Amino acid sequence: MAHIGIVAAGFYRHILDMQLAGARAALKAAGATHELVEVPGALEIPGAIGLATETGRYDGFVALGCVIRGETYHFEIVAGESARGIMALTMDGLAIGNGILTVENEAQAIARADPGQKNKAGEAVAAMLALLALREKFAG
């Protein structure tokens, strides 16, 4: 049974709560256990995954959070750098499902976070589980 670290940015709590519901349902359906680690925002997610990896407790990770475009360039930095950090960790061999939403507005975020709509957190779990299966296939 896989033990998964959910690393979640709580900046938009109402969005995160929907994401957590979708991710937890997908993990339960897969028979995986999980622990939740919360960080302030999306930029802190890759660093927290890196630190959590050092514990050896997790088989894979799901990154959850939301970045909504605002009036400044900050959106591009947060969206791009959080994705870059997650990709770098993935290229180092970690199984990570990236469920960080990068959207134009709150309505788009809700549609993607809601388990009854697009359920992007559930998709992130599926992606992480696929990477775990590939790792097992290539290891043996």
Which pLDDT score is estimated for 59? 98
Which pLDDT score is estimated for 27? 98
The ranges of the chain with pLDDT < 50 are none
74 is catalytic: yes
Q: Is 123 annotated as a binding residue?
A: no
Place of tokens 């622990």: 35
Q: What's the predicted TM-score (pTM) here?
A: 0.96
Which pLDDT score is estimated for 72? 85
Domains parsed from the chain with CATH numbers: 3-139 (3.40.50.960)
- Candidates 3, 14, 34, 74; catalytic one: 74
Amino acid at 35: E
Q: Is 53 annotated as a binding residue?
A: no
